[in-house]
Amino acid sequence: MTRAKTKAILLVLTIFTAVLAGLISPITANGVVKSAEVQAAEAMAKAEIELGKFLAMALSVSICSIAAGYAVAKIGVAAIASAAEKPELFGRTIIFAGLAEGIAIYGLLVAFLIWIS
Using only C-alpha atoms, the chain has a radius of gyration, in whole angstroms, of 33
pLDDT, tens digit (0-9, with 9 covering 90-100), for 49-88: 899 999 999 999 999 999 999 999 999 999 999 989 998 9
The residues near 107 (Cβ < 8 Å, ≥ 6 apart) are: 60, 61, 62, 63, 64, 65, 67, 68
Give the integer Cα–Cα distance in Å for 117 and 114. Answer: 5
CB-based contact 114:57 (threshold 8 Å): yes
Q: What is the pTM of this model?
A: 0.62
